[in-house]
Amino acid sequence: MSETVGIGEAAKMLGISTDTLRRWDRAGKVRTTRDSRNRRRVPVAEVERLRDAPTRHATGDTFSARNRFPGVVRSVEADGVMALVEIEAGPHLVTAAITRDSVEELGLAPGVKAVAMVKATSVMVQVGE
């Protein structure tokens, strides 16, 4: 049997009310089952089918950043209290401005494996020159 969730949880996952989900069930828009106590259960596959947004990937971690670029440190340039760290992550070259203390604590140096994690409130893009 496929994994199911309660009607309240399914409604929350879909961003709708439980009343709306019940109406959808009566109208045949969503397929539900009943448990031994006659409560509606919604297969997770049905929730995924009805979602407006694609399911986001899980990081498998408690860290919130989802944009991760695993790679190798290409260069470290430290000057004063700040440092620039370049990480070669596949076809991407990510440059991070971090503190010199962080570079030392993490042991960052050319050739060290590292993951650049990007969490930004805005991204600016310019069309070619």
At 121 the three-state DSSP class reads: coil
Query: How far apart, in Å, are the Cα atoms of 14 and each of 6, 7, 21, 78?
Result: 12, 10, 9, 48
Could you tell me which CATH number the domain at 67-118 has? 2.40.50.100
Residue 129 CB contacts under 8 Å (≥ 6 apart), including other chains: none
CATH architecture of 4-50: Orthogonal Bundle (1.10)
Domain ranges (residues) in the chain: 4-50, 67-118
At 44 the three-state DSSP class reads: helix
Summarised one tens digit per residue, pLDDT across range 18-45 is 999 999 999 999 999 999 999 999 999 9
Q: Is the pTM of this model over 0.75?
A: no
Summarised one tens digit per residue, pLDDT across range 48-62 is 888 876 666 665 666
